[in-house]
Structure 1
Amino acid sequence: MSTGDPARAKTMAAATESVPPGRWTLARWAIASSTLGFPQAAGPVAFALVAVALTGDASGGAAMILAMTLAQVAGAIPLTRLGRRFAMAAFLRLLVIARTVALVAIAASAASGVSLAWLIALAAAAGLVNGAAYGYLRAVLNRIAPAAGLSRALGISATLNELTYVAAPVVASGLGSISPVLGIVAMALVGALPALLVPNLGPATAAPPEAAPRRGAGSILRPAILLWLLCAAAGGATVAAIEIGAVALALKFGYEPALAILFTVPLCIASVAGGVWVSVRNRRATRGVVVAQLLVMSAGAALAASGLSVATTLAGAILIGLVLAPLATHYSLALDALAPPHRRPEVFALLRTANACGVILASALLTAVSLSTALSAITAAMVFATVAAGIASAKRREPVPPSRE
């Protein structure tokens, strides 16, 4: 390629420039990553309280969450592709602002007493950007962290995300007990923080025109990428089955519904421990270790599905939690290596979408069939993903991300 055009060379150099890594920059990214998911974590409680206040029935809150999740799946790829030729940080801020406006509209509408149908539509509008926003935020990390530090940054992010999913429902419940609208306002305010915290990449934008895909751009859904999306979806369904089915599990063993925390809190604590382990270790897991971790999650799912006792179900939840962060970190690193650089936001958006599809699957099964049947079906899906990963790992070696140092 000719380098005789200084202006062109300067443009391409700027487009591939990374922000010099620094602790404060990475800390801002980690906080942005954890607060980005706050609305989704607080939504089930906050929306349910709003629905009860309007209609006397909490099922309207579930409908709002379903609308938000389905919209996320629908909007992930179109919105990610829309932002290709914009600066990543700037487009991410725009997505977060759009979601904040939708959440504020929900709060204002709920205060005005509008019909539930309007709230469901606004929840869908708020969820539309979630997948794309995650994709761009994860892609930003590649610009601010050295290759050797990605595992640690992702481990810290996974730990903070688990803390968010523990704290957000508590905040939504506490504020919602004062006024249901306050819970929605908290979702909007905390969920807006990534727009303020995301590091400014300066001239580093999306891929330059020379590197952007041309007319014949191929599909990114290659078998190697589909494998990890499948594993993410199965893992998302497994975790969601415990979290969503916690009340049903408590009732099954003769406890009060409030004691659903017997299963959700240990899962979250184990997940935080797994995230800390990933951060301290700061190394990408080998293929054998990843398959072993998938086996542990499958075993945890099987224990929970067995229904033998509270102890076995609790042990299953802990096993699932322990490998949740390590596996999520591996999926992110594996897709980072497999995706073309200019399409990483799209692939990371697909990763979040796969997880959302797992949550939808778990919700649908828990709604349509008995608890034991739903847990057994999800266990089968997890085992299938584990077998697929084992076979693929025996056949080929994944590429290692190139060093940017």
Structure 2
Amino acid sequence: MGSEGSDTALLSLLRRSSFWLWSLTAQLARSPVLMAALAFTGLTASTVDSAKTGGVLVSSFMLSQVVFAGPVGRLLDRGGGAGAGAAAAFAAVGAAMLVVLGLAGAAGAGLPLLAVLCALSGALLAGLPGAVRHRLSSAVPSGLLERALSIDATMVEMTVAAAPLVVAAALLLGPSAGVHAMAVAAAASAVLLFLNRADIGNPQESTPAGGPGGTGLWTLPTIAWFTVSFAFGQALGTIETAALALAQQLRAGPLGAGGIIATLAVSGAAAGLAYAGLARRLKGGSAARAAPLLVVVAVMIVVASLATDWIVLLGAVVLVGVATAPLNAIRSFALESLLPAGRRQEGFSWLYTFNGLGFAVGGVLLAAFPVRVALALPMLSALAALVLLLAQRGASRAAAPHP
């Protein structure tokens, strides 16, 4: 497709109300997880050891998501055409559970009860992002899917930046308001998903039951992309959590950290828009595109940790942002054609779960190791992802018919 045809296709996507409706639903579905850390810390701000208590609640919520993402996604897959309604119902109950959590926290409930409520809300919301992602292929034609994911990567950057700000503003109203903001986002996504379940319905299943290296969901290619998602999440979690420490190395404080995160978000958003226009013109498959981007992200994070001035630091952060947005789109697009019929919501749920787990691991390692050591560790997960990408690419070539 030529430049003019590519631009026309991109404009066609941007004019599709079904895509923007899907995107709004997707951003709302992602928001509770992005709000969780600050919201739960705010909920426990009046306790003696608020940081530790907030950490327990965040861990309860995230671990519950990890445990239940696959089973909930599988259950939604079994629902077939009723999957959208079931996902909306789960999200609505999860939102109600968050309201109860906020009220319990405001009433001074003990940590065990709060942790149980966090775990229940996490479980109920675990399959929501995967369920919404599953429906993108019915919101846009297949020829526009990669561009749609690229635009979505830009929207993700904006959501990542905006969600904590919404919580911070809500906390001005009271300690439980941040959790209630999570509930509003979950409820709004549930309403949109339910009301538009006919328009964003169950996509036609046309993928094979597995790729090279196995059959079913857990094949070598899908495991490779799950690992890419983990590495992607760990890299972002590490550099975003380390923003304050990086700024302090250059004798700056919270304002400098905010500048680092803003630079990452803006560069990522711009890269997502650029990739939307260029994706169909670029040569090479998904693995060939993802591999160099992974290398750039891992290496530039190390460069950022060693930076002795702002020019080097922000330059490295810009390159991380430029690489992460296309990588976000590529991993989701690649998985689209690999997931077996009848297990797509489960597969996308696992994709987002591995991403969230990687993000959390990045923060945990930063607390356990010196800053420069923690910022070097994403190279290990990136290396593992590269090895698996190369292995699945070799398996695909070996399985291909020879003339």
Same fold flag (TM > 0.5): yes
What is the SS of the residue equivalent to 1:266?
A: helix
> What is the aligned partner in structure 1 of residue 16 from structure 2?
23
Is the 2:220–2:392 Cα contact (8 Å) retained in structure 1? no
| Distance across 2 between alignment mates of 1:397 and 1:369 | 41
Correspondent of 1:94 among 86, 89, 94: 89
Correspondent of 1:270 among 267, 270, 277: 267
1:207 deviates by: 8.1
> What is the aligned partner in structure 1 of residue 59 from structure 2?
66
| Distance across 1 between alignment mates of 2:274 and 2:118 | 36
1:219 deviates by: 4.0
1:388 deviates by: 4.1
Mark the CA change 1:29 to 1:207 in structure 2 (over 3 Å): closer, same or farther: closer
Is the 2:37–2:58 Cα contact (8 Å) retained in structure 1? yes
> What is the aligned partner in structure 1 of residue 35 from structure 2?
42
> What is the aligned partner in structure 1 of residue 372 from structure 2?
372
TM-score with structure 2 setting the length: 0.84
> What is the aligned partner in structure 1 of residue 225 from structure 2?
228
TM-score with structure 1 setting the length: 0.84
For the pair 1:122 / 2:132, whether they are aligned, the reply is no
| Distance across 1 between alignment mates of 2:312 and 2:200 | 54
For the pair 1:170 / 2:165, whether they are aligned, the reply is yes
Is the 1:303–1:315 Cα contact (8 Å) retained in structure 2? no
Is the 1:88–1:206 Cα contact (8 Å) retained in structure 2? no
Is the 2:209–2:341 Cα contact (8 Å) retained in structure 1? no
Is the 2:28–2:185 Cα contact (8 Å) retained in structure 1? yes
Is the 2:73–2:347 Cα contact (8 Å) retained in structure 1? no
Structure 1 segment 1-400 matched on structure 2, within 5 A: 23-55=16-48, 57-86=50-79, 87-198=82-193, 199-201=196-198, 205=202, 219-281=216-278, 283=280, 286-287=284-285, 288-390=288-390, 392-393=392-393, 396=396
Q: Which moved further from structure 2: 288-297 or 131-140?
A: 288-297
1:190 deviates by: 2.1
| Distance across 2 between alignment mates of 1:218 and 1:122 | 37
Q: How many correspondences in the alignment?
A: 374
Deviation digits for residues 283-330 of structure 1, max 9, x if unmatched?
Answer: 386333332322322222231243444433322222121121211111
Unaligned 5+ segments in structure 1 are: 1-20, 400-405
1:280 deviates by: 3.0
Is the 2:298–2:376 Cα contact (8 Å) retained in structure 1? no
Is the 1:36–1:191 Cα contact (8 Å) retained in structure 2? yes
- Over aligned residues, Cα RMSD in angstroms? 2.8
Mark the CA change 1:244 to 1:63 in structure 2 (over 3 Å): closer, same or farther: farther
Mark the CA change 1:151 to 1:206 in structure 2 (over 3 Å): closer, same or farther: closer
Deviation digits for residues 166-214 of structure 1, max 9, x if unmatched?
Answer: 1121121122023122222222112221112223237955889xx999x
> What is the aligned partner in structure 2 of residue 5 from structure 1?
none
Is the 1:99–1:125 Cα contact (8 Å) retained in structure 2? yes
Is the 1:172–1:186 Cα contact (8 Å) retained in structure 2? yes
> What is the aligned partner in structure 1 of residue 11 from structure 2?
none
Deviation digits for residues 53-102 of structure 1, max 9, x if unmatched?
Answer: 24462332222222211111100111112222321211210121122012
Is the 1:30–1:156 Cα contact (8 Å) retained in structure 2? no
Q: Which moved further from structure 2: 296-305 or 369-378?
A: 296-305
Is the 1:284–1:330 Cα contact (8 Å) retained in structure 2? no
| Distance across 1 between alignment mates of 2:165 and 2:309 | 28
| Distance across 2 between alignment mates of 1:294 and 1:128 | 30
What is the SS of the residue equivalent to 1:220?
A: coil
Mark the CA change 1:388 to 1:84 in structure 2 (over 3 Å): closer, same or farther: closer
Q: Which amino acid aligns with 2:248?
A: L
Mark the CA change 1:124 to 1:264 in structure 2 (over 3 Å): closer, same or farther: same
Q: Which amino acid aligns with 2:35?
A: A
| Distance across 2 between alignment mates of 1:53 and 1:284 | 55
| Distance across 2 between alignment mates of 1:45 and 1:382 | 28
Deviation digits for residues 344-393 of structure 1, max 9, x if unmatched?
Answer: 11111110111122123212211222111111122232234235435644
Mark the CA change 1:123 to 1:315 in structure 2 (over 3 Å): closer, same or farther: farther
Unaligned 5+ segments in structure 2 are: 1-13
> What is the aligned partner in structure 2 of residue 14 from structure 1?
none
Is the 1:300–1:318 Cα contact (8 Å) retained in structure 2? no
Q: Which amino acid aligns with 2:228?
A: C
Is the 1:85–1:207 Cα contact (8 Å) retained in structure 2? no
1:338 deviates by: 0.9
What is the SS of the residue equivalent to 1:76?
A: helix
Is the 1:151–1:284 Cα contact (8 Å) retained in structure 2? no
> What is the aligned partner in structure 2 of residue 15 from structure 1?
none
Is the 1:151–1:278 Cα contact (8 Å) retained in structure 2? no
